[in-house]
Structure 1
């Protein structure tokens, strides 16, 4: 969640605050240099052979993008459209990737294009702590995408649509992303055992959508995932929410510095891990929830297990209920174990929804959670006020 929020927040409000004459034709090379600085902050090496202005556009040639240790992506040319410049930064109206089709090893990828709109890139003299962190984005779209083999579609996606609110100092940044029309052919899975399992479950294809809604308030560092849902048709919907405090611009800057040291070889992976753990001490946990709404998946899994054992679904359910007290006794928290056993039993008898909620009365500092996890893990459910409920309304659907 961190990187999408940082890299994809919007600064449209800046256009309303600044007078029209504050934006002028852009210095192409200065923009290229500013982009490289921002990519470096996030552990990505950006190499640009040349940058030239063409009216209101800037053309970047011989571009290489290398995220961390991953392979570099090479592009002959990238056109930045409707570029303007102010005293403290640049605004790029649109970056568009064209449609294309390519075939390799008998499989064809059809890509419907993509675009990013409203990018704001800071200069070195930018003083606003949020604008200094990363490139701010107003929106992005991609798709459709299709992977096929002959006439058969292996995977397809209608598209991705991302939007972000305007950045106004002191106010939260809001983001939303929708991934629609996901579909995969389970008969084309490369692993034979996986194909057999999906066939036994009755899924020759899987389709669904994914949505994400979140916010980040730079003023107090509060970050919320209000919705992160994967809804698979005729299977289940899974939704995750989370609420954290302490994710300030200063914390993010320190994380970027640690990442830069790792990338330069000044710090190894182990040292980086310890440093990041130290920074996490600044966070506090406000709450979280994991909610599963069943749409036939649980019943299919129970029937599959029953068939494997030559039994009935009811036998599998009763066996699971009988094992739960033994498994949950390891938690060394009888009250919590009893609650979990009751909720899971109700869910197995009538699979509708299963919800795990952590709702502490007050924000819990990360050091307190880590201390409990190392010294008395059985107290974690009580520290975070964790509840488990089955077949209740208000999780995802009802």
Structure 2
């Protein structure tokens, strides 16, 4: 991504080393202005008060984010870009960007928030910002963004909520043109014993989770030239209780759809800069616009999987206790009720599949999976055309819904 500069640029840099501070400020402002311009395509609107350059480090001061209909939010401290280089084409690269650690105390609530080590790496700003090259801009804007730990404490300094790390990465395009991005949020934890409500404490005690710990992660790959998109291993894990995983395969998410989405982002940024509040009518129009844009996108396949790690039996124990029975007795009752609940279902194959899967999972709660694999991809607009109310199973048949347990 343009890691070298031309001999002319080197000579220019040498000359600038002996130039006035105003010349340095001018170059720093050019970088800052390009950053502002580029971010608008991502739906972000911000401004800065001043820009300075020292060596290859650009510092932006009085960095302020603008949100439609809200007062500007100023970033505490400076935003510092290290390893800044101007490319031969007139764009910029920066090795990393950092902001000052955030510390905020709400005196009324008696809680303090600390958010540290906020970093962006592998930043690329284009020579020209336009909707014509918005795809390249979006895919090359950064390599990695990370932040954390995030810590929320009470007035005594005791931890209430924390996240160890939040991270998002974008890889360089693969040989087949696919661009993969991923995210992870690790070390999520919360002290549930601090919740004072009696009903909440009853649930917490029943589930034995005075400290909630969890993590999130996922990845996706987009092939701009073909419009294919996969969303893989989107996981939400609650330690010692269970986890949910999602996988999807789509097509029809074309470059044009992406470009039109960026137009909506640009409009949002422009409204924020103008200080305009977004009305309900405008929000509805934008939502309808997004639905229309995504109309040609088609569902190829997908699956939703639940992995149990004690949560199911704890739910049965809790619900059963409210009815005066233990969890095992309540479980037996559910197994007996499943065929009765499906008695009016006319689709015998579907009824048999659901009964088998549900009873298998209830008897030995491990894995429960719902998947779809239509014979032909289903366009999102087709969901509106299916008369589910008249025939509830038209969707089951069209999507080829499969339900299984402990596979």
1:9: which partner in 2? none
Q: Is the 8 A contact 1:172 1:217 kept in 2?
A: yes
Partner of residue 123 from structure 2, selected from 108, 119, 123:
119
Partner of residue 175 from structure 1, selected from 178, 181, 184:
181
Q: Report the CA distance shift for 1:391/1:20 in structure 2 as closer, same or farther (over 3 A).
A: farther
* Matched position secondary structure for 2:49: strand
- How big is the alpha-carbon RMSD for the aligned residues of Structure 1 and Structure 2? 3.0
In 2: Cα distance, 1:233 partner to 1:74 partner: 36
TM-score when scaled to structure 1?
Answer: 0.84
In 2: Cα distance, 1:79 partner to 1:310 partner: 62
Q: Give the gaps of 5 or more residues in structure 2.
A: 14-25, 272-277
Q: Give the gaps of 5 or more residues in structure 1.
A: 1-13, 393-398
Question: How many angstroms does 1:170 deviate by?
Answer: 5.8
Q: Report the CA distance shift for 1:282/1:71 in structure 2 as closer, same or farther (over 3 A).
A: farther
Q: Is the 8 A contact 2:192 2:212 kept in 1?
A: yes
* Matched position secondary structure for 2:62: strand
Q: Is the 8 A contact 2:42 2:138 kept in 1?
A: no
2:371: which partner in 1? 357
Q: Report the CA distance shift for 1:80/1:222 in structure 2 as closer, same or farther (over 3 A).
A: same
Partner of residue 113 from structure 2, selected from 80, 88, 109:
109
Look at both structures and tell me which one has the larger radius of gyration over its CA atoms.
Answer: 2
1:238: which partner in 2? 244
Q: Is the 8 A contact 1:222 1:244 kept in 2?
A: yes
Q: Report the CA distance shift for 1:338/1:77 in structure 2 as closer, same or farther (over 3 A).
A: same
Partner of residue 154 from structure 1, selected from 160, 180, 195:
160
Map Cα deviations across residues 24-49 of structure 1 (whole Å, 9 max, x no partner): 76932232222222332233321222
Q: Report the CA distance shift for 1:306/1:175 in structure 2 as closer, same or farther (over 3 A).
A: same
Deviating beyond 6 angstroms after TM superposition, the runs of 4 or more aligned structure 1 residues are 22-26, 329-332
Map Cα deviations across residues 261-311 of structure 1 (whole Å, 9 max, x no partner): 466469712222222221111201111111111110101110000111101
In 2: Cα distance, 1:226 partner to 1:388 partner: 19
1:386: which partner in 2? 401
In 2: Cα distance, 1:379 partner to 1:78 partner: 54
Q: Report the CA distance shift for 1:91/1:23 in structure 2 as closer, same or farther (over 3 A).
A: farther
1:91: which partner in 2? 93
Partner of residue 327 from structure 2, selected from 301, 310, 313:
313
- Paired residues in the alignment total 378
More strand by share: 1
Q: Is the 8 A contact 1:165 1:173 kept in 2?
A: yes
1:66: which partner in 2? 66
In 1: Cα distance, 2:393 partner to 2:336 partner: 22
Map Cα deviations across residues 127-150 of structure 1 (whole Å, 9 max, x no partner): 645224476211122222222222
In 2: Cα distance, 1:21 partner to 1:335 partner: 73
Question: How many angstroms does 1:88 deviate by?
Answer: 5.0
Map Cα deviations across residues 17-69 of structure 1 (whole Å, 9 max, x no partner): x7766977693223222222233223332122232322212221222113445
Map Cα deviations across residues 298-327 of structure 1 (whole Å, 9 max, x no partner): 011100001111012233224434554565
Map Cα deviations across residues 119-167 of structure 1 (whole Å, 9 max, x no partner): 1122326764522447621112222222222253212222223332124
Deviates more, 1:206-215 or 1:281-290: 206-215
* Matched position secondary structure for 2:168: strand
Map Cα deviations across residues 73-117 of structure 1 (whole Å, 9 max, x no partner): 202521111111221522121111334544333323333322110
Map Cα deviations across residues 348-381 of structure 1 (whole Å, 9 max, x no partner): 1211110111122332222223322667552112
Q: Report the CA distance shift for 1:62/1:100 in structure 2 as closer, same or farther (over 3 A).
A: closer
